[in-house]
Structure 1
Amino acid sequence: MKSNDQTLVKKLAFTLQYLWRLAIPFWMFRDAGRGTVEQRIANYRYNRAQRKILPFFMGKWIGIAICMMQLTQVLSDLMATATTQSTNYLCAAFFCMSAGIGFAFACIVLTVLSASYLYLTYVKR
C-alpha cells in the first residue's frame, strides 16, 4: 500500500508541474543575473531569443482573466438573487471571492509577462 501512495504522490507532483509549465513560461529562460560577465551576456541573448513565446502566454492569461471576471459577475448575480440565510449565498460568496482573487492573480501574471516582454524587446545590452 505504501508504494501505491508514493506513485500516486509522484503522479500528482508530475501533473501539477505539467500544469504549472503550461501556465508560466519562465522555466524556459535562463538567469542572466549570475555568473561571469560572458555567461550573463550569453544568458541575456538567449532570453532575448526566447521572448517570442511570451505573447502566446500573455494571450492565455488574458483569457484566464476574462473567464475569472465573467465568473465573478455570474456569481455576484447569483448572490444578489439568493437570500442571505441560504447556503447558496455562502457558496456563491466564497466562489465569488475565489474568482476575484484568481482575476487579481491573472492580472499580476499578465503584468509580469508584459514587463518581461517589453524589457527583453527594447533594452539592449
Structure 2
Amino acid sequence: MMSRSSGAAVASHYEDMPLSLLLFRYLWPFWLFKDASRGDRMTRAAAYRHNRSMRIYLPGYLMKWVFSCVTTFGITAGFGSLSTAQAASTGRSLDVFAIIAAGWGIIFACSVCVLFITSYIYFYLSRNDA
C-alpha cells in the first residue's frame, strides 16, 4: 500500500515532467515494455514476465488510438469534402484542402498502424504463457 508521502512524490514527479514527455507517455504504449530478446535466459524471462504484467494497460491505450483514428478520419473526410466543393466551384490547379486532407490521411494511416500493433501485442501477451 502506498503512503501519502510517496503518492505526493509521484504527483510531484509528473508535475516536473515536460509536456512533450507527458504526451508521449499518454499516447505511446511501448514505453511500458522491456526488450525480451536481449540478455541471458533469466533476463529474457524476467522481461517477458514484466511485459505480461504491463499488458493490463493496453486496452486504455487501444481506446485512445481508436479515438485518434476516428478523429483523424473525420478531419480527413471534412477536408476532403471541402476539397471537392472547392474543385467544383473553381478550376484552380493547387487545391490546399486536398493537400491538408492528404496530410491528415497520412496521420490516420499511422494511427491505424499503431492501433494494429498495440492490439497484436495485447493479444500475443494474453494468449502466450511463459
Which TM-score applies when normalising by structure 1?
0.82
Deviations 1:20-55 (A, max 9, x none): 221111111111111111111111011101100001
CA-based RMSD of the aligned residues comes to 1.8
Aligned mates of 2:71, 2:98 — CA distance in 1: 17
Q: Name the SS for the 2:95 alignment partner.
A: helix
Correspondence for 1:20: 24
- Name the counterpart of 2:68: 64
Q: Tell me by how many angstroms 1:99 deviates.
A: 1.0
Alignment of 1:46-61 (within 5 A): 46-61=50-65
Q: Could you give the per-residue CA deviations for residues 54-90 of structure 1, whole angstroms, max 9, x where no partner exists? A: 010010000000011111111111011112428xx62
User: In structure 2, what is the Cα distance between the partners aligned to 1:65 and 1:75?
Assistant: 15
Q: Partners of 1:51 and 1:30 in 2: how far apart? A: 12
- Find the partner of 1:80 among 78, 84, 104: 84
Q: Residue 18 of structure 1: CA displacement? A: 2.6
Read off the aligned partner of 2:55 and give its amino acid letter: R
Matched, 1:92 2:106: no
Percent identity of equivalent pairs? 33
Task: Kindly indicate whether residue 37 of structure 2 is the aligned counterpart of residue 33 of structure 1.
Answer: yes
Distance in 2 between residues matched to 1:29 and 1:73, nearest whole Å: 35
**TM-score, normalised relative to structure 2:** 0.79
CA displacement 1:65-119 (0-9 Å, x = unmatched): 0011111111111011112428xx6221111001110110010000100010011
Structure 1 stretches of 4+ moved >4 Å: none
Q: What secondary structure, in the 3-state scheme, does the structure 2 residue paired with 1:46 have?
A: helix
Residues 24 and 84 of structure 1, relative CA distance in 2, 3 Å threshold = farther
Which of 111, 118, 123 matches 2:116? 111
Any gaps of 5 or more consecutive residues in structure 1? 1-13
Equivalent residue number for residue 8 of structure 1: none
AA paired with 1:19? L
Paired letter, 1:34: R
Q: How many residues get paired?
A: 111
